[in-house]
């Protein structure tokens, strides 16, 4: 055997354990992703005891993985721990908090997928409802529709908070900080933005920054489990909000007409 052949064998034997370890880590991450998905499905079905049992199983699995610094950074594990703790506390006492449980578990599931995914993460599937809420927000601002403006801004903020743990995992810290500052500014100065034409550019800038994040993470086409029911739910909330605001405006106009004195 020549020298090159011997070097190849040594190289192969040296790389084999590393490859095996990487496969084991990927397998464990996939296990976490699967558990999070199943826990979300049980929560969606209202089967909180089963969801709780899976969350405890998840806790055992990720505590083992945490010891290996190659799987994720301490900052990423901190994000998972935080969103896990919030979801767990809600499903332990779900009565009267069913919607909160579903939102928290969805946020948890998306964050876990952000760490475990090797392709386009699940949270990018939320692009359509998130951008739709911003479009509706921009439209209501242009029309000076106060009620709809506040309603749609609240819808966007709810979506943003649900996605934020995933963004903390997948988006560069500086980029996310700029986006977060923009979101907080629009929320804090919402009345000024609605009242002052010169401030409406803030919403357009927010829309561009959010769109850029979805675009950057959505370049790779890798098949992921469907998040269609969440998208449908969020889209339904937007439609319901717009319909309710429209109905309330119509009702107010009728009352105003009815109360006008006859000449």
Give the list of residues 6+ apart from residue 51 with CB closer than 8 angstroms, or none: 39, 40, 42, 43, 91, 105
pLDDT tier at 244, thresholds 50, 70, 90: very low
25 pLDDT higher than 50? yes
Give me 237's structure tokens: 């909330």
Picking from 128-137, 171-180, 217-226, which range would have the lowest pLDDT averaged per residue?
217-226
Can you tell me the mean pLDDT for 45-63?
A: 95
Q: Look up tokens 């998905």; give the residue.
A: 37
Picking from 28-32, 42-46, 160-164, which range would have the lowest pLDDT averaged per residue?
28-32
Taking the C-alpha atoms of residue 210 and residue 130, their distance in angstroms, rounded to an integer, is 9
219 pLDDT higher than 50? yes
Q: How far separated are the first and last CA of the chain, in Å rounded?
A: 111
pTM: 0.76
Q: Which fold does the domain 25-116 belong to in CATH?
A: 1.20.120
pLDDT tier at 166, thresholds 50, 70, 90: very high
Tell me what pLDDT residue 8 has.
44
* % pLDDT > 70, the chain: 71
Taking the C-alpha atoms of residue 205 and residue 209, their distance in angstroms, rounded to an integer, is 6
Distances (CA, A) of 24 to 20, 70, 76, 129, 261: 6, 12, 19, 36, 78
Nearest residue to 230 (alpha-carbon basis) of 168, 134, 162, 153: 162
Give the list of residues 6+ apart from residue 248 with CB closer than 8 angstroms, or none: 147
pLDDT tier at 10, thresholds 50, 70, 90: very low
Average pLDDT of the chain, as a whole number: 80
> Domains of the chain: which residue ranges?
25-116, 119-249
Name which residue leads in pLDDT, 93 or 216.
93
* % pLDDT > 90, the chain: 56
């Amino acid at each position: 055997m020549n020298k090159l052949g011997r070097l190849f064998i040594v190289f192969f034997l040296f790389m084999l354990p590393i490859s095996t370890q990487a496969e084991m880590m990927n397998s464990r991450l996939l296990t976490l992703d699967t558990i999070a998905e199943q826990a979300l499905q049980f929560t969606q079905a209202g089967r909180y005891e089963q969801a709780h049992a899976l969350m405890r199983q998840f806790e055992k699995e990720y505590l083992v993985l945490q010891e290996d610094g190659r799987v994720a950074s301490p900052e990423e594990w901190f994000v998972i721990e935080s969103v896990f703790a919030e979801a767990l506390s809600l499903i332990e006492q779900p009565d009267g908090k069913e919607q909160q449980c579903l939102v928290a578990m969805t946020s948890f599931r998306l964050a876990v997928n952000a760490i475990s995914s090797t392709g386009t993460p699940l949270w990018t599937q939320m692009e359509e409802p998130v951008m739709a809420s911003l479009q509706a927000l921009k439209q209501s601002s242009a029309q000076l529709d106060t009620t709809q403006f506040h309603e749609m801004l609240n819808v966007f903020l709810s979506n943003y908070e649900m996605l934020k743990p995933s963004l903390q995992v997948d988006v560069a810290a500086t980029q996310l900080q700029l986006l977060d500052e923009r979101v907080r500014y629009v929320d804090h100065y919402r009345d000024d933005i609605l009242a002052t034409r010169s401030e409406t550019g803030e919403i357009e800038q927010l829309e561009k920054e959010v769109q850029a994040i979805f675009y950057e993470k959505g370049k790779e086409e890798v098949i992921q489990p469907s998040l269609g029911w969440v998208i449908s739910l969020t889209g339904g909330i937007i439609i319901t909000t717009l319909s309710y605001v429209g109905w309330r405006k119509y009702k107010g106009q009728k009352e105003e007409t009815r109360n006008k004195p006859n000449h």
